[in-house]
Amino acid sequence: MQVTFATRRSPLALAQCRAFVARLVAAHPGLEALEKQVVTTGDRVQDRPLSEIGGKGLFVKEIEEALLDGSAHFAVHSIKDVPATLPEGLAIVCIPAREDPRDVLVSPRYGTVNALPRGAKVGTSSLRRQLMLKAMRPDLNFVPLRGNVDTRLRKLHAGEADAIVLARAGLVRLGLADRATETLMPEVSLPAVGQGALGIEALLAARDIVALLKPLHHPETAACVAAERGVLAALEGDCKTPIAAFAHRDGTFMRLRAFISEPDGSSPRTHDETTTWPDDEADARRLGEQAGKRLKRG
């Protein structure tokens, strides 16, 4: 059997996609997988914050078009880049086991958030990360920083910032985990919805592809991601709204934490609940939606 998979061209997208496909081929001896690289709008526009050009969904639009026109059978996404609502006919049909979902600080000179000097420049374009760190260190100055991981690391070493904040999962997948100087616990920096998880998107009607991907699906990760995406769907936040949500398993329970504020950082609201582990992904999404609605009501 021969399949074509779609991916962005960034080094991180290629690394995580190829690692997933290698596992898929190992699970299906004789499978031939062809790579289709797609340049998305989010990749092309690097001089403006995502909040100004349409949000993270711009990293998946052209890839989804390849799925819909049949030029690719499935796509591998960082699920935090995937909007809560998908085009008709498409679905996230496989979610592999999650990588570490936490944020990290990279600051070779200072090491930790607490060690940063007063007024230090921290590079991140994420409103969520800015608000999380401002709560801890209101004196910090934030500078916009876009581009792939290598570009951000180069800008850091060029002196454009004293520190940068990245997802630990991206560094791990690129073999750069040793660049992190501090791992930020969720209590300090609540992760983005789906951070650290991959989402494999395909036509829901393509049953042969769905069956092919099923062995790599990880139900526990999928339930946690479903709860987080339920929060996102209920909040209906636009690309300028800072939203965070993180679910994890604790024995027979699920703990779900969520956050939202106004785009300017005002009216921050949090939600933290522990419930019985959901029966399935649909149940997990309902839990997330209920939590999101409570946050929305304030």
Question: pLDDT in tens for each of the 298 residues of the chain?
Answer: 899 999 998 999 999 999 999 999 999 999 999 999 988 766 655 555 555 544 556 778 889 999 999 999 999 999 998 888 899 999 999 999 999 999 999 999 999 999 999 999 999 989 999 999 999 999 999 999 878 899 999 999 999 999 999 999 999 999 999 999 999 999 999 999 999 999 999 999 999 999 999 999 999 999 999 999 999 999 986 667 899 999 999 999 999 999 999 888 888 999 999 999 999 999 999 999 999 999 988 7
CATH superfamily of 1-97+196-217: Periplasmic binding protein-like II (3.40.190.10)
Nearest CA-CA partner of 173 in 18, 59, 5, 7: 18
Pair 256, 191: CB distance under 8 Å: no
62 burial (CB, 10 Å; 0-12 / 13-18 / 19+) is: middle
In the chain, what are the domain boundaries?
Answer: 1-97+196-217, 103-184, 219-298
Residue with tokens 């800015």: 130
**pTM of the shown model:** 0.90
Q: Would you name the residues annotated as active-site residues?
A: 81
CATH fold for the domain made of 103-184: D-Maltodextrin-Binding Protein; domain 2 (3.40.190)
CATH superfamily of 219-298: Porphobilinogen deaminase, C-terminal domain (3.30.160.40)
- Per-residue confidence (pLDDT) for residue 173, from 0 to 100: 96
Q: Which residues contact 51 (CB under 8 A, 6 or more apart)?
A: 127, 239, 240, 263
- Asked if 1-97+196-217 and 103-184 have one fold, the answer is yes
d(CA 64, CA 69): 9
- Per-residue confidence (pLDDT) for residue 45, from 0 to 100: 58
- Per-residue confidence (pLDDT) for residue 53, from 0 to 100: 46
pLDDT in tens, 239-285: 678 999 999 999 999 999 999 998 888 889 999 999 999 999 999 99
At 28, give phi and psi (nearest 5°): -135, 80
H-type alpha helices, 69-189 = 127-136, 149-157, 168-173
